[in-house]
Amino acid sequence: MAPDHHEGDNAAALRPTEPQRRYLERGLSEPGGKLPLFDAEGRAVPRKTVEACVSHGWARPWFDNPLKPDWLVCRLTEAGYRALGKEPPKA
């Protein structure tokens, strides 16, 4: 029987690519770990980057945007903080 694994345990062991890391790092200074829709130059963060971070467990959808339903508004997870070498904030 396979050992019981938690998604966050595996996600924290993986390393984000450079674009994923840049995206995730932006959430470190935002309330609640909110991740940006746009990069530092004002370009939309590629959906592929956002979806990859969600699939690895580093980010999770936060809320639906009624004005732009195709935008994926996310926040850092505990695994996301750890993938960046940071401790998640205490709740």
What number is the average pLDDT over the span 3-9?
A: 43
Give the pLDDT confidence of 33-86 residue by residue, as tens digits. 999 999 999 999 999 999 999 999 999 999 888 888 888 899 999 999 999 999
Q: Domain segments of the chain: what residues?
A: 7-83
Question: Is the CB of residue 50 less than 8 Å from the CB of residue 59?
Answer: yes
**What's the confidence (pLDDT) of residue 33?**
96
Task: Read off the DSSP letter of residue 3.
Answer: P
Give the pLDDT confidence of 15-38 residue by residue, as tens digits. 999 999 999 999 999 999 999 999
This prediction's pTM? 0.81
Question: Is the CB of residue 53 less than 8 Å from the CB of residue 74?
Answer: yes
